[in-house]
């Protein structure tokens, strides 16, 4: 089974405010955001397909913080970066230079955030490659920005 860490990069088409479960209301400027998660559990990287189903409006369950983001109509899939790095290692690497949404996606770890505003997919791949030489990048839609 192929497993590791992924960052789902989404494009926020215009500024949004959404209710995000236990986190309360979250406000995001338009732009690219990277959500970094673990695909080490059952199913490995097939977890990414669940995100894509929520992004396409095909899956209505809202369990994780990121489901509320993926399910927003102004949010589109942009790219997925995968590697064997540790997910918190990647989140911490992004923390240095990128604004994170406090408390997002990190209920189970000590990070300040697993959702970061990013300038490009290359930036995200660079954060992964600090911890792992194996990085794959798959691009989806172009942003409507
Ligand atoms: Zn973490």
Q: Tell how far the Cα of 91 is from the centroid of ligand 1, in angstroms.
A: 6
| DSSP category for residue 100 | B
Does the reported pTM lie above 0.95?
Answer: no
Per-residue pLDDT band at 143 (split at 50, 70, 90): very low
* pLDDT for the residue 142: 53
Q: Tell how far the Cα of 144 is from the centroid of ligand 1, in angstroms.
A: 30
- The whole-angstrom separation of Cα 83 and Cα 129 is 8
Model pLDDT for residues 49-82, shown as the tens digit of each residue: 999 999 999 999 999 999 999 999 999 999 999 9
Q: Tell how far the Cα of 113 is from the centroid of ligand 1, in angstroms.
A: 7
């Amino acid at each position: 089974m192929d497993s590791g860490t992924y960052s789902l990069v989404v494009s926020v088409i215009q500024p949004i405010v959404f209710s995000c479960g236990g986190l309360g209301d979250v406000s995001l400027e338009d732009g690219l955001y990277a959500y970094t998660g673990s695909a080490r559990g059952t199913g490995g990287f097939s977890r990414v397909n669940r995100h894509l189903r929520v992004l396409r409006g095909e899956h209505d369950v809202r369990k994780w913080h990121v489901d509320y983001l993926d399910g927003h109509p102004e949010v589109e899939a942009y790219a997925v970066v995968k590697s064997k790095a540790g997910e918190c290692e990647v989140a911490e690497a992004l923390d240095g230079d990128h604004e994170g949404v406090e408390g997002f996606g990190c209920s189970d770890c000590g990070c300040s955030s697993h959702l970061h505003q990013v300038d490009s997919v290359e930036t995200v791949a660079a954060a992964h490659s600090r911890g792992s030489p194996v990085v794959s990048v798959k691009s989806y839609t172009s942003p409507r920005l």
